[in-house]
Amino acid sequence: MNGAEGRVMRVAGPVVVATGISGARLYDLVRVGALGLVGEIIKLDGDEAVIQVYESTAGLEVGSVVHHTGAPLLVELGPGLLGKVFDGTGRPLQALAASGRGRYGEPFLGRGAEVPTLDRARRWEFHPSIEVGAVVGAGDVLGWVEETPALRHLVLVPPGAGGRVDGIGTGELTVTDPVALIDGVPIAMLQQWPVRTPRPVRRRLDPDEPLVTGQRVVDTLFPVAKGGSATIPGGFGTGKTVHEQSLAKWADADVVVYIGCGERGNELTEVLGEFPRLADPRTGASLADRTILIANTSNMPVAAREASIYTGMTIAEYFRDQGCAVALLADSTSRWGEALREVSGRLEEMPGEEGYPAYLPSRLAEFYERAGSVRCLGGSDRRGSVTVVGAVSPPGADFSEPVTQYSLRLAGTFWALDTDLARRRHFPAIHWTRSYTLYKLGPWFDEHVADDWEDHRRWALELLQEEERLQSIVQLLGADVLAPAEQLVFFVGRMIREDLLQQSAYDEVDAFCPLSKQYWMLHVIRRTHDEALRALQEGADPETIRSLPAIAGVARMRSWPPEDAESGARELESRIVAELEQAL
């Protein structure tokens, strides 16, 4: 370790004040004390540097040495990230466990451990895709390695580099071996990047394609765009984690970065146990092969929550730059907000709303703004995206608190989890009239699933709104005031809510619902509405309509095998139509 040395003056929880670090700059990385705890300079005041330490500061003493590394917090990028678990600063936790220096979830072991993110010994079969003499620029493809069966990892000219290719490697290489010589400079697969700096792109694009999640309430009603962002606030136990994990399992992303930020460690242990055994419905490959976990669980140091967010985001951008659709799932951004509040409190900064620092909104904005659909750097036409989904845990399920309020101003899709729905075990407890999406994805669905997809979606949303409106009338005046057609709205609204929008994350068939099946389920419900309305107008008895035997089939649609959805729907619709005719 080189650079200037300083001394610890004060220790206040995760915050350490040091003096004598010459040449210190904001966000430079330091190593604190004899153990070399990882910390970041977050404030400079004359000769004093305020450091947030990403590891427990227990036992740290005044006068301890502080090494200045002269560089910001960097994350190592290259092959070998997929299928791994890292802490907030990018140290592999599985590797820590293997070396016996610490175990995942045990925060105080391995403090100050210097373990590189990427395995230095592992060899990768490098396949060059350019020749000596070629002239390349940042983002151009030098070659590829098969990182996992799920992903061909493109090795790119790093940002800032470029020139004539004087040599190109081939065969079994480690991440630090040169793969190319460009204008005399050796380039290795391993790159480093400062986590707080967004990686450059050629151009940002309008997100116009959905991230397909297999969750009906999401895809059918409130889809998020690939390269867009969503926020999912919800009170205690309303289903934030189950939802994030469902997205991690089933969303049509090439790479998933899952950040467990200040939440329970056992939830990540479940992911670790479950993902290797699950297959990606698109590729058949193991889900672990496309997933990266960043673990900064509730028992781990508070300040590192911030690092976990930036480290995860930088890794997500790195895969985006290769042309991947990346989903970045953060559970929960509130814990990061709380970490900011704690550190700010220790700094005795002037508190803003509810004790959060005044820069809370700008931090959240920087986070959500790193989502995007982009034309990647480099000469080819690669398009990549980072879709961000941030869970928010408002205390007391009060959505007026700052983290929820700022998040919903920033994110394009808002999935409002409802405590009452969760209590009634309506899952996912995403409320159908309080949620929304700003992405205009109808044309994509019309083109790729069914040309009247958007028309069906609008019909469903309007019917649910109408149901809510009628509900308030009933509360005031009783159900007797409703006309038969209005009573039908309740009957059909209930089908939409219970038979379409409810979806169990634990049911083998229903956990993932392809778009065509979503469409046909909704088609049946709408047809039922249309035909029942006609029958009513022709004089059928409302009670007879409600008790048609075929209607029971609507509740069983969710267990249809997806490939039978269309035939099942057509058959069910014919039965309903036939029974309605008999009811006349």
Ligand X SMILES: Nc1ncnc2c1ncn2[C@@H]1O[C@H](COP(=O)(O)OP(=O)(O)OP(=O)(O)O)[C@@H](O)[C@H]1O
For ligand X, the closer of residues 314 and 334 by Cβ is 334
Query: How far apart are the C-alpha atoms of 363 and 12, rounded to whole Å?
Result: 23
User: Choosing among ligand X, Mg ion, none, which partner's interface includes residue 236 (Cβ < 5 to 8 Å by kind)?
Assistant: ligand X
For Mg ion, the closer of residues 396 and 539 by Cβ is 396
For ligand X, the closer of residues 64 and 241 by Cβ is 241
For Mg ion, the closer of residues 328 and 450 by Cβ is 328
User: Choosing among Mg ion, ligand X, none, which partner's interface includes residue 393 (Cβ < 5 to 8 Å by kind)?
Assistant: ligand X
238 binding Mg ion? (CB under 5 A): no
Residue 352 in tokens = 């803003």
User: Choosing among Mg ion, ligand X, none, which partner's interface includes residue 237 (Cβ < 5 to 8 Å by kind)?
Assistant: ligand X
Residue 65 in tokens = 């040495």
Question: Shortest gap between Cβ of 415 and ligand X (angstroms)?
Answer: 12
CA dihedral 199, 201, 207, 209 (to 10 degrees): -90
Asked if 233 and 394 touch (Cβ cutoff 8 Å), the reply is yes
334 binding Mg ion? (CB under 5 A): no
For Mg ion, the closer of residues 240 and 382 by Cβ is 240
Q: By the criterion CB under 6 A, which residues form the site for ligand X?
A: 234, 236-242, 263, 393, 427-428, 504-506
The SS3 of residue 536 is helix
Contacting range for Mg ion; rule: CB under 5 A; set: 157-165, 239-247, 346-354, 486-494: 239-247
For ligand X, the closer of residues 178 and 237 by Cβ is 237
Contacting range for Mg ion; rule: CB under 5 A; set: 148-156, 238-246, 434-442, 459-467: 238-246
Full DSSP string of 220-245: IIS--BTT-EEEEE--TTSSHHHHHH
Q: In 261-392, which residue ranges form alpha helices assigned H by DSSP? A: 265-274, 304-321, 333-346, 360-369
Q: How far is CA 238 from CA 235, 415, 418, in A?
A: 6, 12, 7
CA-nearest of 299, 238, 297, 240 to 272 is 297
Query: How far apart are the C-alpha atoms of 292 and 257, rounded to whole Å?
Result: 5
For ligand X, the closer of residues 229 and 332 by Cβ is 332
Closest residue to Mg ion in the complex (CB): 241
241 binding Mg ion? (CB under 5 A): yes
Query: How far apart are the C-alpha atoms of 500 and 524, rounded to whole Å?
Result: 10
Contacting range for Mg ion; rule: CB under 5 A; set: 235-243, 246-254, 436-444, 497-505: 235-243
CA-nearest of 579, 223, 270, 149 to 413 is 223
CA-nearest of 25, 31, 93 to 60 is 31
Question: Shortest gap between Cβ of 241 and Mg ion (angstroms)?
Answer: 3
User: Choosing among Mg ion, ligand X, none, which partner's interface includes residue 427 (Cβ < 5 to 8 Å by kind)?
Assistant: ligand X
Question: Shortest gap between Cβ of 237 and ligand X (angstroms)?
Answer: 4
How many residues appear in the chain? 584
Neighbours of 236 (CB within 10 A): 12
373 binding Mg ion? (CB under 5 A): no
For Mg ion, the closer of residues 391 and 489 by Cβ is 391
- CA angle, corner 192, sides to 190 and 196, nearest 5? 150
Asked if 376 and 383 touch (Cβ cutoff 8 Å), the reply is yes
Question: Shortest gap between Cβ of 513 and ligand X (angstroms)?
Answer: 12
Question: Shortest gap between Cβ of 433 and ligand X (angstroms)?
Answer: 19
> How is residue 376 annotated by DSSP?
P
The SS3 of residue 61 is coil
User: Choosing among ligand X, Mg ion, none, which partner's interface includes residue 560 (Cβ < 5 to 8 Å by kind)?
Assistant: none
For ligand X, the closer of residues 312 and 428 by Cβ is 428
Site for Mg ion in 458-497 (CB under 5 A): none
User: Choosing among ligand X, Mg ion, none, which partner's interface includes residue 238 (Cβ < 5 to 8 Å by kind)?
Assistant: ligand X
Number of residues forming the site for Mg ion (CB under 5 A): 2
Beta strands in 334-475 (DSSP E): 372-375, 383-392, 413-414, 436-437
User: Choosing among Mg ion, ligand X, none, which partner's interface includes residue 428 (Cβ < 5 to 8 Å by kind)?
Assistant: ligand X
* Residues forming the site for Mg ion (CB under 5 A): 240-241
